Amino acid sequence: MSNNFRQTSNNTGVPPVSVVECRNTRTASYDCKMNAPAQPDTKAHKANLAEASNALRSRPGYLLRRCLQNTSSLFDQACSDTGITMRQYDVLFVLDLVGDMTQGELSHLLDIDRSTNALVVRLLEEKHLIDRWNHPRDSRKKCVRLTKTGRDTLQQVQPRAQAAAQSLLSALAPGEQQALLDALNKVIDSSPESPGDNKG
- As a whole number, mean pLDDT of residues 161-173 equals 95
Identify which of 136, 121, 129 has the alpha carbon closest to the alpha carbon of residue 151.
129
Query: What is the CATH class of 84-172?
Result: mainly alpha
Predicted TM-score (pTM) of this structure: 0.73
Residue 28 has pLDDT above 90, yes or no: no
How high is the pLDDT of residue 41? 75
15 pLDDT higher than 60: no
What is the overall mean pLDDT for the chain? 85
**pLDDT tens profile 55-92:** 999 999 999 999 999 999 999 999 999 999 999 999 99
Average pLDDT of 137-166?
95
Please state, in angstroms and rounded to a whole number, the distance separating the CA atoms of residues 194 and 147.
29
Q: Domains of the chain: which residue ranges?
A: 84-172
Gap between the Cα atoms of 129 and 145, Å rounded = 9
CB atoms inside a 10 Å sphere around CB 65 = 11
Q: Is 84 within 8 Å of 76 (Cβ atoms)?
A: no
> What confidence score (pLDDT) does residue 196 get?
52
Whether 17 shows a pLDDT value over 50: the answer reads no
Per-residue confidence band for 139, with pLDDT thresholds at 50, 70 and 90:
confident
**Which residues on neighbouring strands pair with residue 133, listed in sequence order?**
143
CA 94 to CA 108: how far, in whole Å?
11
Return d(Cα 53, Cα 145) in angstroms, integer. Answer: 46
